[in-house]
A and B are shown apart, each in its own frame.
Chain A
Amino acid sequence: MHTNHIVPPRVYYAIFGILMLCTYLTVQIAFFDLGPLNVVAALTIAVFKATLVVLFFMHVKYSTKLTWAVVLGSVFWLGILLALTMSDYLTRVWRTYG
């Protein structure tokens, strides 16, 4: 099992740097009018940052398959909640019952 893998601190500093850079980027981008892409950009950067935290700070990159399954599962489930709920709200314009 690789759960005892010790990550060298320089990796942490590097990730830290990228995260700060991304934060700066996301704030800057927000001040430009990209229309609907604003949300896309903001969320993409957020997902990217979260992925870095999960993989490196939380050691998932070096963890068991089970841990991967748990992480992916939680994201998938959140996706179910959002997707299926939106499938109601986004299609109400077509026709609602009642």
Chain B
Amino acid sequence: MTTALVPARHYLNDGYGIKSWLLTRDHKRIALLYLAGVTFFFFIGGAFAVLIRLELATPVGDLVSDETYNKLFTMHGVMMVFFFLIPAIPSVLGNFLIPIMIGAKDLAFPKLNLASWYIYMLGAAFTTYAIVTGGLDTGWTFYTPFSTVASTSAVIPAALGIFITGFSSILTGLNFIVTIHQMRAPGMTWFRLPLFIWSHYATSLIMVLGTPVLAITILLVAAERLFHFGFFDPAVGGDPVLFQHLFWFYSHPAVYIMILPAMGVISELVAAFCRKPVYGYPFVAFASLAIAVLGFLVWAHHMFVAGISVYAAMIFSILSFLVAIPSAVKVFNWTATMYKGSVSWQTPMLYAIGFIGLFTIGGLTGLFLAAVGLDIHVTDTYFIVAHFHYIMVGGTIMAYLGGLHYWWPKISGRLYNEWLAKFSALVIFIGFNLTFFPQFILGYLGMPRRYHAYPPEFQVLNVLSSAGASILGVGYLLPMAYLMWSLRYGRLASDNPWGAVGLEWNTTSPPPTENFAEPPEVTWEAYDYGSPVVEEHV
């Protein structure tokens, strides 16, 4: 281990003042700009969630009016999906780490990277404008003809906001793809890359291939609202179900955008905190690509009761089962990695273990939904809500927090308080399960989604869920607090406080603007713990 030596010049003090941040080309600073953005929108979306759960604690609609409730869950979904979860890991951790992990000085197109942040904020501005001028009440899914004809809310600004933000996603993906292909350091062959890079590469493929279809679809919704074109209006011969095809063509792959980076983080955490290579590295790498590709073939599993043909339903059902296999392979490989590892119980590993468990549960409930005969009963009920919150909150957010904690010393040069961190992880875990497990039961019982008043026999389970949500909310506030506190008062971090293997640990904490004092040359395999070449660098 190297001694704690904070470099004199690093990327954080390489230029002060607002201009040096708002006009930066440094991928690391841009990552922090994104961090500020996504954290802000997470708390807005979270505030809406808190209001939702408060309303749902009683069976009657007493806290807010039905119109308000409809806007609450819509904006919660929109904010959380488009402005928090899709950018979170790729644009924060990915932006920061990808060039460093491959030994490059920056991404391929730094100016484009900055532009993508501005585009993201512009899209967020439109959507925020929509919120404050009356809100959006179409559900995050914008189904027609409600969104094109019947809704009286701020559909067009919100649609434009999402359209614009989509381009941020596209440009980020484009940047990552070119960077990973072209700018790896000498010796860094594809199969020596950290699995984090493989995951982000796969994610970028999805971003580039899927987001444009969302863009055109949401543009058509806005156009139909403005000009009454009639694509989705049965009165002129249009098909409302067509919208669903086009929307889900993106939105299913989008959920893989939300999980693949998380899986990349978990691979890194498991390797680092067991101090051994991820078991079955090539299989995990190919599984990432398989998820990205197969994820494009399953979208109509969201439309089983929407009026598609029985034949198509069966096609999409069988394909949905196929896409589960690569995820299964990954989970098994991570588990096998822990066998005979040197397993540390530090906070990032706790989050990783939490992820594996909760993703397993959430993913297995996905199988319930792919089973088309069963989905008939549970679709559009809280079973679905539970399924996706298990994966997105119990999975991705845990991975995001784990990654933040793991790379926090690298990003900030500081260490956080380990006991507070462990405690928060526990609070989050308990709060999370209490919030969302009862929703599986509620869903099978038949409580529909997007209801703000419900039959009284569902109340007890709803109260449990709301109680859990308040615990969860507190749990999220804690890391905010102690991580920010550590920026000022935390202990200084060494180059490699975890004793991990990876190019990012071969540079200072925080890194210099050009990432490395000397451009690295890679002569070792990924996660080559214990090999003498690596020992010398660790």
Instruction: Tell me if B329 counts as interface (CB < 8 A to partner A).
Output: no
In the complex, are the beta carbons of A97 and B315 less than 8 A apart?
Answer: no
Residues A81 and B308 in contact in the complex (CB < 8 Å), given A87-B315, A88-B300, A97-B313: no
Chain B nearest CB, measured from A52 CB (Å)? 25
Instruction: Tell me if A96 counts as interface (CB < 8 A to partner B).
Output: yes
Instruction: Count A-side interface residues using an 8 Å CB cutoff.
Output: 18
Report the Cα distance A81→B300, complex, angstroms. Answer: 11
Chain B nearest CB, measured from A70 CB (Å)? 9
Chain B 285-310 interface mask (CB, 8 Å, partner A; 1/0): 00000000000110110001101111
Chain A 85-98 interface mask (CB, 8 Å, partner B; 1/0): 10111011011111
Specify the chain B residue showing the minimal Cβ separation from A70.
Answer: B177
In the complex, are the beta carbons of A97 and B305 less than 8 A apart?
Answer: yes
Within 8 Å by CB of A77, from B209, B300, B312, B315, lies B209
In the complex, are the beta carbons of B311 and A94 less than 8 A apart?
Answer: yes
Report the Cα distance A98→B308, complex, angstroms. Answer: 8
What chain B residues lie within 8 Å of A94 (beta carbons)?
309-311
What chain A residues lie within 8 Å of B32 (beta carbons)?
none
Number of A-B contacts (CB under 8 A): 52
Chain A nearest CB, measured from B161 CB (Å)? 24
Instruction: Count B-side interface residues using an 8 Å CB cutoff.
Output: 20
Chain A nearest CB, measured from B353 CB (Å)? 36
In the complex, are the beta carbons of B310 and A81 less than 8 A apart?
Answer: no
- The secondary-structure label for the interface of chain B is helix
- The residues in A between 48 and 98 inclusive whose CB is less than 8 angstroms from any CB of B are 66, 73-74, 77, 80-81, 84-85, 87-89, 91-92, 94-98
In the complex, are the beta carbons of B312 and A87 less than 8 A apart?
Answer: yes
In the complex, are the beta carbons of A96 and B249 less than 8 A apart?
Answer: no
In the complex, are the beta carbons of B309 and A88 less than 8 A apart?
Answer: yes
Instruction: Tell me if B181 counts as interface (CB < 8 A to partner A).
Output: yes
Report the Cα distance A81→B297, complex, angstroms. Answer: 9
In the complex, are the beta carbons of A95 and B305 less than 8 A apart?
Answer: no
Residues A98 and B213 in contact in the complex (CB < 8 Å), given A77-B296, A87-B312: no
What chain A residues lie within 8 Å of B450 (beta carbons)?
none
Report the Cα distance A66→B307, complex, angstroms. Answer: 41
Specify the chain A residue showing the minimal Cβ separation from B372.
Answer: A97
Within 8 Å by CB of B309, from A66, A73, A77, A91, lies A91
Chain B nearest CB, measured from A91 CB (Å)? 4
Residues A92 and B181 in contact in the complex (CB < 8 Å), given A80-B297, A87-B315: no
What chain A residues lie within 8 Å of B213 (beta carbons)?
81
Chain B nearest CB, measured from A86 CB (Å)? 9
Instruction: Tell me if B422 counts as interface (CB < 8 A to partner A).
Output: no
Chain A nearest CB, measured from B284 CB (Å)? 22
In the complex, are the beta carbons of A85 and B296 less than 8 A apart?
Answer: no
Chain B 207-245 interface mask (CB, 8 Å, partner A; 1/0): 001000100000000000000000000000000000001
What chain A residues lie within 8 Å of B313 (beta carbons)?
97
Specify the chain B residue showing the minimal Cβ separation from A90.
Answer: B309
Report the Cα distance A84→B309, complex, angstroms. Answer: 12
Within 8 Å by CB of A66, from B181, B209, B249, lies B181
Given contacts A74-B209, A96-B308, A97-B305, 7 further A-B contacts (CB under 8 A): A80-B296, A81-B249, A87-B311, A87-B315, A95-B310, A98-B305, A98-B307
13 contacts between A and B (CB under 8 A): A77-B209, A80-B296, A84-B299, A84-B315, A88-B245, A88-B309, A89-B309, A94-B311, A95-B309, A96-B307, A96-B309, A96-B310, A98-B307
